[in-house]
Structure 1
Amino acid sequence: MKSFRAQTLILIAIAFTLGMSEFIIIGVLGDIAHTFHISFAQVGFLTTVFALIYAISTPILSLLIGKRPLKQVMNVVLGIFICGNGLSALAPNFMVLTISRIITALVSGVTISITITFAPHIAPLTKRAWIVAWVFSGFSIASVFGVPAGTWLSGLLGWRLIFLLIAGLALLVLGSFDLALPGTLHQQPGQHFSEQFHILTDRRILLGVLIPVFNLGGVYVVYTYVTPILTNHFGYSLSFVTIFLVLYGIASLFSNQYSGNLAANHGLQRSLKFYGLQLVAMLLTSLCFNVAWVVMGAILIMGFTIYLAGSTLQLFYMSIAEADYPQSLVLASSFNPIFSNLGIAVGSACGSLIVGHLGMDALGFGGAALTASGLFTTWYLTFHLLKNHNYG
């Protein structure tokens, strides 16, 4: 049991480190813009690029893993991750910073997909939903503690130090992973490389992967610009933004934790009412854009609803792979992070277009359109395509 707990903590720590690296841009957006004398929208572009590269590279690298030992692959990808964050810290200009973020994004997705593959492997059957929820909670813990702390430290010591700290933490986590996790785990190879793609012909999968795209996309239309909304529009200090980011992180942590509860009992069906709540929050953000407490309350609701279907979807993808596409196990385990990041890319890109052409007060309407699409997709998958199955 002690070994299982230690292994679980290491997997959570990997997710925490990945979350810190991905989300820290939100907290230091203003500092980077000041350093390189560029606009908020240009720095916000880093979020889009990171998420897009993440989404594109993850399935490709997952397919290339084949039957290689996953522990061996983890050493390579985390090593590249460490180098990418080190380069971010040393970047002399915005172009080099962008390149460093691309390098980091290239391996972040396959790193979490391998982590998720280990999670059910080390857990008893009754704890599979629990451990998957906790591993994904590593991202929320990064939002609760890591990103606000990084934002605060950035104000004191500069944003470059934050990327050095992330690189150092990743090195420590990698050493712990090598000591504690089994070295024999690998996916079942197919006879042909192309067999791993067969899972993407399954209608259940094709509809299922749209849910995180619409869900996270809707939230990130607004959340990408939370710092300028609070500072430039409402006039709050960076210290207040740090506190608000802590509250948002706590909300997203509850989202991840409650997702385990949903996954244990008709998770997709039960998530519908929460997507409805998210839709209302989006609309209120635009309709009441000059009322600070309404906007902040709506963003916190988004934080609570953002990951609610995460554990359900992760187990949904993996259960289909285990039953019908065993050669695609690592690829299936990467679907949630892949399409969540695709959603982040779509949402942040839409947000940039909306801010540039319509203004920040229209962000909520853009987010609502994506959330409504996710609500419909979830309803159709649950009550039509899966009505004779036990998934969701």
Structure 2
Amino acid sequence: MANTIETRNAVRVPFLDLKLQMKRLGSGLREAVWSTLESAAFIEGKPVLEFERAFAVYCGTSDAVAVDSGTAALHLALHALGVAQGDEVVVPANTFIATAAPVHQVGARPVFVDSDEHSWQMDIQQVKRAIGPRCRAVIAVHLYGQPLLVRELRSICDEKNVPLIEDAAQAHGARYGKEKIGGFGRLACFSFYPGKNLGAYGDGGMITTNDTDLATRLRRLRNHGRTTKYEHSEVGFNYRMDAVQATVLNFKLPFLDDWNASRRYWAGRYRERLSATPLTLPALIPDTEPVYHLFTVRCTCRDKLASFLAERAIETGVHYPVPLHLQPAFRFLGYSEADFPVAEAICREIISLPIFPEMTEHQFEHVCESIDEFFATTPGR
């Protein structure tokens, strides 16, 4: 028994391990960053252009426009599409607040829709009903790295003559059919927050599109509406990506598919190993290839499980504990508890388990064995 306790206490499982990732990237990354620093050109410039081109090729789109965060990407996308005061934008109730905050920032009203009870993604049928005469866009989130039925959603948007914006902040490299996420909507918005599947060493974002004219305007808008150094054709924003982040991201991009494959491997192992436990797992969406930015499960005693795992040096997360319609920031919209019952139930029960490309078999077994132990020893679960 003593040996078992010592082994258990010796195994630590972080939620993700960016230090190990950086170590494995080695001196090549440090040399690339140092070269950019020595150039003393820190805003936009060659590194940003090179990353934009590489990311557009990766996503299979004609254009990619780099910005300084995923939130900025969504705000700029809405602004460029002309969404403004008095308009409505359909968004999921269960997502991070950055999906809906830019809607409010352009003066429009977020119109929330519930989650699908099986996949936990945005309920597409509810989207169709939520699109009213004042709707000017639909923001579809590929939540946790699981692509939505985006072709079906695009058909609904086309039928209603409403542009589709993909929120791909958690879905770098995910596929629907044979195509990567990023080119199904009029625009797609990515985040390169450090913990993402493709993360910067600071903040960063990207907008992909197949509309070259729109991309030209987005590039102008991100840089104060500038046409020449001191000439501005419209009032824009300071949403420029810096050269250091572009250097880091361009260096890491060739590793992304392998990292995603590793995440899928561990997700598959989790699905096999946890299928006999009382945990509820989300249904897979056919003809998609998720990238498992997060591996989420549902547990009726979520907080007890999280505490139990923490005692065994296993980090977990909750994505997300409060649906957007119940956030204090959106109280003015007038939504109430039970308006979106599926999203609310998910938020009460969801827990994210550790998953990252560098995860070891020892760490994986420690997580699964600890979950087995929890259900074997916890009364009233």
- The TM-score bracket by the shorter chain reads under 0.3
Return the structure number with greater helix share. 1
* TM-score, normalised with respect to structure 2: 0.27
The structure that is strand-richer by fraction is 2
TM-score between both structures, scaled by the size of structure 1: 0.27
Q: Which has the higher contact order (CA 8 A, sep 6+)?
A: 1
